[in-house]
Amino acid sequence: MEPENKAEPKKVVFSAIQPSGTITLGNYLGALKNWIALQDRYDCIYALADLHTITVRQDPAAFRRNTLEAYALLLACGIDPSKSLFFIQSHVPTHAQLAWILDCYTQFGELQRMTQFKDKSAKHPDNVNAGLFTYPSLMAADILLYQTDLVPVGVDQKQHLELTRNIAERFNGIYGPVFRIPDALIPEKGAKIMSLQDPAKKMSKSDSNVNASVAVLDRPDDIMRKFRRAVTDSEACVRYAPGKNGINNLMGIYSCVTGETMAQIEADFAGKGYGAFKAAVGEAVAEHLRPIQERYADYIKNRDYLEQCWNESGQKAFSISVRTLRKVMKKVGFLPPRRR
């Protein structure tokens, strides 16, 4: 009798998002919607990266409120605590502990080359702090703690993942195979949702133009208004083509929320102008977000349930991550404490 084939273990996926205010349609379609889809195929570990958030000065009360609301909203978007770990980064101290060790295996020149450091330094010249500079080492710790196989990233985040891989390979080269080397998982659709007012740049919650981004919790009337005012071009033809950044972005958004291909969208709106298409995109987005908003309204009223979810996930995340941390500390040569 031949032995039964054991099912191969699922690959581990890790990703995190900052709770620094409004979660936009770009965040949802570009990242969160894909997080939800991954839960049945992989062992998913998700976090609210609140330690990363304080590289920019925060108002304490607003920071706490944003973290609570972001946790409730991500559950409403579809993160399922029965399938995935979903915790708050600062609740799991192994992240900060490993980050310091990795700082000592990250080269100054590598951190200087990080695009995000340059961009944020320019935006916040009065607060170019050490945490902002070493931010990528903390991100590397987030990923490497869980022996992660795959990291869902947008095309603009690949630089940080490449640094994570470099740090892991450097450490492994000195001490042996301690860390698994993670690969990028780039979604086929919705990888980069652009501003509605300047489609050459990414949709951002920090944009000073209120019509440039749509928040997941925006009211339907506001969603419709923002899409009606979206920048397109003078051709007035719903056609996906190089250089047509505005209409390409709207078609990409419509495709993400309806599942239609670009060819189907072009056929549906043949002979129709941009006005009709913008209205259709707004309506489709508002309808897609409606059940998320309804679930959020229920979750945000149930603080006990939210605390139960993040506490249970945080405890499990610590149990997994501390094994990696202990192995790292042993390899480096730290004297172990007495086990309590």
Number of domains within the chain? 2
| 226 occurs within a structural domain | yes
pTM strictly above 0.85 = yes
List CB contacts of 196: < 8 A, sequence separation 6 or more.
203, 211, 212, 213, 214, 226, 227, 229, 230, 231, 249
Whether 124 and 58 share a structural domain: yes
Whether 93 and 34 share a structural domain: yes
Half-sphere exposure of 128 (CA within 13 A, CB side): 10
CB 40 within 8 A of CB 78: no
Whether 245 and 270 share a structural domain: yes
Whether 128 and 40 share a structural domain: yes
| 215 occurs within a structural domain | no
Whether 181 and 280 share a structural domain: no
Whether 105 and 242 share a structural domain: no
Instruction: Give how far the C-alpha of residue 65 lies from the chain's centroid of Cα atoms, to the nearest Å.
Output: 19
Check which CATH number belongs to the domain holding 106 and give it.
3.40.50.620
| 147 occurs within a structural domain | yes
Token code pair at residue 69: 């609301």
Whether 61 and 109 share a structural domain: yes
Q: Which residues are catalytic?
A: 120, 202, 205
| 36 occurs within a structural domain | yes
In this structure, the number of other CB atoms found within 10 A of the CB of residue 2 comes to: 4
In this structure, the number of other CB atoms found within 10 A of the CB of residue 83 comes to: 15
Whether 320 and 171 share a structural domain: yes
Return the beta strands (E) in the chain as ranges: 12-17, 43-48, 85-88, 150-152, 183-185
| 292 occurs within a structural domain | yes
Whether 266 and 288 share a structural domain: yes
**Helix (H/G/I), strand (E/B), else coil: 259:** coil
- The residue behind tokens 């070493």 is 134
**Residuewise pLDDT in 10s, the chain (340 residues):** 455 556 688 999 999 999 977 899 998 998 899 999 999 999 999 999 999 999 889 999 999 999 999 999 999 999 999 999 999 999 999 999 999 999 999 999 898 888 777 777 777 788 888 888 899 999 999 999 999 999 998 766 788 899 999 999 999 999 999 999 999 998 765 557 899 999 988 898 777 788 999 999 999 999 999 999 999 988 888 999 888 899 999 999 999 999 999 999 999 999 888 999 999 999 999 999 999 999 999 999 999 999 999 999 999 999 999 999 999 999 999 998 877 6
Fill in the amino acid letter for 32. L
| 5 occurs within a structural domain | no
Whether 102 and 161 share a structural domain: yes
Whether 281 and 307 share a structural domain: no
Domain extent for 268? 220-298
Whether 313 and 250 share a structural domain: no
| 84 occurs within a structural domain | yes
Instruction: Give how far the C-alpha of residue 138 lies from the chain's centroid of Cα atoms, to the nearest Å.
Output: 15
Instruction: Give how far the C-alpha of residue 102 lies from the chain's centroid of Cα atoms, to the nearest Å.
Output: 22
